[in-house]
């Protein structure tokens, strides 16, 4: 191959890829593509100095990365205001048109994936950054270069941000999960999670194998002189980016509504998942005048699709026993496909819910699955009953150990602490990271020890011997000794970890810390009125604690003697903005959220799990979600992780401190 032939071959490969990945219109076979690709690889191996930078061979790196560095967007990436019905749409449109008159709106599909910001300079892709907190994200440039629908070069020399959603086609999602199932890996919950996880692989070869697709939806920083968004997006598609095709210029709320329903009907025909339609003011000048709120552009909104519902039939109800003994009914339904996912089970919550809905075996039911929400039965079609339906009886005996159940109305519990379902799950939870964090004591090990008869209750862990472990298949001396050492290391644990590890219903990490702070390791001697007086404790939580203590008092004493948990140290934090304040942490951070929580507790703050009027701050990261929205609604001060670190003079996890460009009215940075 000559140099001229090499250049021609590279252009031909790029053309093949463009037709295959962008236009969905293959113009050659896989075999022909592979033959030409390997000819190019051979030439580049012999002529390393002549490699064309955007050659298809340059998309995948050879060495996995150690980590993702933080990177700043040139301009902020905003989230969108959500609209759910025609009434909300009318109000949103009226708010704009009453000031600006006849405004045109650019409508396009809202793809369900992971947001990505591409920065091009001098015609080359120089950086790709995840959304992050909108100001600061992660640099995933090497992974982005593996995505065939992202051009490595464009015919534009200025500096520009091209923004879009990284998605996985529904068909490819199923294939990925089939492969993971065969290899014993956990399955992705949905295509969005698969796309986000694939985009953040440290090994670019894994990302390249997933066939991610980039769907552009907008432009960030730029120096374009194109006056309308629709024209700008047409220009973007002309650069070699994928075109969603189903876009439309609307001139009224009614026209938007009509197009919205057309898109809803067509959503199943899209190769990827849609969760709504995005509406944007077409005029860039009007966009600039409308500006932004704390979180959203005033000139754009997401008109969300309603949750997916399908008709099926209830076959049976099975019972599951949780680690705390709560018996939960689960519906088994005739398999139904909802957006590429086969749904065969649905949560029923409790037997009060079954009675409220008058649900019976054999009933036709409407089942709902929306995004990550666990499928649930939302309606029973009683009009279609033929008399063969069977009433669902409340259970009287545990489905695992057959002991009598305690029926408290909404909750039905197995009180037998020797129940196999309780023992295994309780020990797994007892050893988990948020509890005693016993390294090496995972699900399979606990099950093996239980099946061998070595542990029948929690206290048995502390009587295990090396000889016992070595008698089990697969337990070598080093592994066995490490496990025994890890169990012994749990002695002297923090007070709150001891309480949390007990697995009391409704009592998690935050509540455990509150109990520990108020009563220490002798929390089981606290009186009802004293527990009820604790912040965040309602009647249900108090009754749960008292019931657990009443039933398991001797067990608590035995475990306390074995573990010798440490009483909490009453520390007096120095004066700082977070001392004696209630703080909620939400979204993805540069470090584990537990690290941020520990920092706050050292500062004398109370870390809460939910946002309320009593909250003083919400520290948020990527994908903050409903807690962020609740804070905005209540007027709670919002801080990015960087702003939090600035206020406490903490190092910014290896990156320069950054602040949000827009702050809430009550931000400390006003």
pLDDT tens-digit map of 440-451: 898 889 989 988
CATH number of this structure's domain 571-670, picked from the four choices 3.40.50.10190, 3.40.190.290, 1.10.760.10, 3.20.20.80: 3.40.50.10190
Architecture of the domain whose range is 495-563? Orthogonal Bundle (1.10)
Q: pLDDT confidence of 623, banded at 50, 70, 90?
A: confident
Q: pLDDT confidence of 302, banded at 50, 70, 90?
A: very high
Cβ partners under 8 Å of residue 659, min gap 6: 135, 640, 642, 643, 646, 669
Structure tokens at 270: 């899209």
CATH topology of domain 420-489: DNA polymerase; domain 1 (1.10.150)
Q: Where do the domains of the chain lie?
A: 3-59, 81-302, 308-391, 420-489, 495-563, 571-670
Q: pLDDT confidence of 417, banded at 50, 70, 90?
A: low
Cβ partners under 8 Å of residue 111, min gap 6: 165, 167, 215, 217, 244, 272, 273, 274, 275
Cβ partners under 8 Å of residue 383, min gap 6: none
Q: pLDDT confidence of 346, banded at 50, 70, 90?
A: confident
Residue 434 pLDDT > 80: yes
Residue 593 pLDDT > 50: yes
Q: pLDDT confidence of 60, banded at 50, 70, 90?
A: low
Whole-number pLDDT of residue 655: 40
Residue 198 pLDDT > 80: yes
CATH class of 81-302: alpha beta
Whole-number pLDDT of residue 46: 85
Q: Is 110 one of the catalytic residues?
A: yes
Q: pLDDT confidence of 669, banded at 50, 70, 90?
A: very low
Give CA–CA dist 56/58, Å, rounded. 5
Of residues 42 and 416, the one with the higher pLDDT is 42
Which range has highest mean pLDDT (81-85, 224-228, 243-247)?
A: 224-228
Q: pLDDT confidence of 62, banded at 50, 70, 90?
A: low
Of residues 563 and 568, the one with the higher pLDDT is 563
Mean pLDDT of all residues in 19-42: 74
- Closest CA relative to residue 445, chosen from 432, 463, 459: 432
> In the β-sheet with 81-83, what is the strand arrangement from edge to edge?
81-83, 300-304, 274-281, 105-111, 248-250
Whole-number pLDDT of residue 570: 64
Residue 205 pLDDT > 50: yes
- Closest CA relative to residue 227, chosen from 279, 283, 281: 283
- Closest CA relative to residue 37, chosen from 75, 60, 6: 6
pLDDT digit string, tens, across residues 315-343? 999 998 876 688 989 999 999 877 556 78
Active-site residue identified among 14, 70, 110, 413: 110
Mean pLDDT of all residues in 60-78: 80
With a pLDDT cut of 70, the percent of the chain lying above it is: 90
- Closest CA relative to residue 378, chosen from 331, 329, 327: 331
Residue 663 pLDDT > 70: no
Please give the sequence-ordered ranges of beta strands (E in DSSP) within 90-133, or none if there are none: 105-111, 114-121, 124-130
Residue 65 pLDDT > 70: no
Residue 539 pLDDT > 60: yes
Residue 266 pLDDT > 90: no
Counting every residue written for the chain, the total comes to: 670
Q: pLDDT confidence of 651, banded at 50, 70, 90?
A: low
CA distances from 449 to 251, 432, 457, 458, 483 (A): 68, 16, 11, 12, 12
Q: pLDDT confidence of 181, banded at 50, 70, 90?
A: low
Residue 311 pLDDT > 60: yes
Whole-number pLDDT of residue 614: 84
Q: pLDDT confidence of 127, banded at 50, 70, 90?
A: very high
Fold matches, 3-59 and 420-489:
no
Strand pairing partners for 82?
302
pLDDT digit string, tens, across residues 466-499? 999 999 888 889 999 999 999 999 999 999 999 9
With a pLDDT cut of 90, the percent of the chain lying above it is: 40
DSSP state of 374: P
pLDDT digit string, tens, across residues 147-159? 989 999 999 999 9
Residue 378 pLDDT > 80: no
Architecture of the domain whose range is 308-391? Beta Barrel (2.40)
Mean pLDDT of all residues in 530-540: 83
Residue 405 pLDDT > 70: yes
Average pLDDT value over all residues in the chain: 85
Mean pLDDT of all residues in 216-239: 95
Residue 31 pLDDT > 80: no
CATH class of 3-59: mainly alpha
Which of 497-511, 518-532, 564-578 is predicted with the least confidence, judged by mean pLDDT? 564-578
């Amino acid at each position: 191959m000559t140099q001229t032939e090499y250049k021609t071959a590279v252009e031909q490969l790029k053309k093949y890829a463009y037709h295959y990945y962008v236009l969905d219109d293959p113009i050659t076979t896989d075999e022909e593509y592979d033959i030409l690709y390997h000819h190019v690889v051979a030439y580049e191996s012999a002529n390393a100095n002549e490699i064309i930078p955007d050659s298809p061979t340059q998309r995948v790196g050879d060495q996995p990365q150690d980590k993702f560095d933080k990177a700043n967007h040139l301009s902020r990436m905003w989230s969108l205001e959500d609209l759910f019905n025609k009434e909300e749409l009318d109000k949103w449109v009226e708010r704009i048109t009453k000031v600006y008159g006849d405004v045109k709106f650019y409508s396009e599909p809202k793809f369900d994936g992971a947001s990505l910001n591409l920065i091009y300079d001098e015609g080359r892709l120089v950086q790709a950054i995840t959304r992050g907190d909108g100001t600061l994200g992660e640099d995933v440039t090497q992974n982005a270069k593996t995505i065939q629908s992202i051009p490595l070069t464009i015919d534009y020399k200025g500096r520009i941000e091209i923004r879009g959603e990284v998605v996985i086609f529904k068909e490819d999602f199923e294939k990925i999960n089939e492969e993971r199932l065969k290899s014993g890996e956990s399955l992705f919950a949905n295509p969005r999670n698969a796309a986000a996880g694939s985009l953040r692989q440290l090994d670019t070869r894994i990302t390249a194998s997933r066939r991610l697709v980039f769907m552009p939806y907008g432009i960030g920083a730029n120096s374009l002189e194109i006056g309308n968004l629709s024209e700008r997006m047409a220009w973007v598609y002309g650069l070699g980016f994928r075109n969603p095709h189903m876009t439309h210029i609307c001139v009224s709320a009614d026209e938007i509504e009509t197009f919205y329903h057309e898109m809803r009907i067509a959503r199943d025909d899209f190769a990827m998942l849609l969760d709504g339609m995005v509406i944007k003011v077409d005029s860039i000048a009007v966009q600039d005048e409308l500006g932004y709120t704390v979180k959203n552009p005033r000139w754009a909104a997401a008109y969300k699709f309603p949750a997916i519902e399908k008709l099926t039939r209830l076959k049976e109800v099975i019972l599951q026993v949780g680690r705390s003994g709560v018996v939960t009914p689960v519906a088994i339904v005739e398999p139904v496909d909802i957006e590429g996912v086969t749904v065969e089970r649905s949560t029923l919550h409790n037997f009060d819910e079954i009675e409220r809905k008058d649900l019976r075996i054999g009933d036709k039911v409407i089942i709902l699955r929306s995004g990550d929400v666990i499928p649930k039965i939302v309606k029973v079609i009683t009009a279609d009953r033929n008399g063969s339906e069977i009433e669902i009886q409340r259970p009287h005996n545990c489905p695992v150990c057959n002991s009598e159940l305690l029926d408290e109305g909404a909750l039905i519990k197995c009180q037998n602490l020797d129940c196999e379902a309780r023992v295994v799950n309780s020990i797994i939870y007892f050893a988990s990271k948020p509890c005693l964090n016993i390294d090496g004591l995972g699900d399979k090990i606990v099950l093996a020890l239980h099946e061998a008869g070595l542990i029948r209750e929690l206290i048995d862990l502390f009587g295990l011997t090396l000889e016992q472990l070595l008698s089990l298949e697969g337990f070598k001396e080093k592994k066995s000794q490490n496990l025994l050492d890890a169990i012994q290391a749990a002695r002297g644990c923090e007070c709150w970890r001891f309480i949390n590890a007990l697995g009391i219903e409704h009592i998690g990490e935050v509540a455990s810390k509150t109990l520990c702070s108020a009563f220490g390791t002798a929390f089981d001697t606290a009186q009802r009125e004293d527990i009820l007086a604790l912040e965040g404790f309602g009647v249900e939580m108090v009754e749960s604690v008292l019931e657990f203590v009443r039933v398991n008092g001797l067990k608590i004493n035995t475990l306390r003697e074995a573990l010798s948990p440490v009483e909490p140290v009453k520390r007096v934090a120095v004066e700082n903005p977070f001392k004696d304040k209630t703080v909620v942490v939400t979204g993805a951070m540069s470090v584990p959220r537990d690290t941020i929580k520990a920092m706050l507790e050292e500062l004398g703050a109370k870390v809460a799990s939910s946002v309320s009027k009593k909250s003083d701050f919400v520290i948020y990261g990527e994908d903050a979600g409903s807690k962020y929205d609740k804070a905005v609604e209540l007027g709670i001060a919002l801080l990015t992780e960087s702003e939090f670190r600035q206020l406490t003079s903490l190092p910014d996890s290896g990156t320069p401190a950054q602040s949000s460009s827009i702050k809430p009215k009550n931000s400390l940075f006003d």
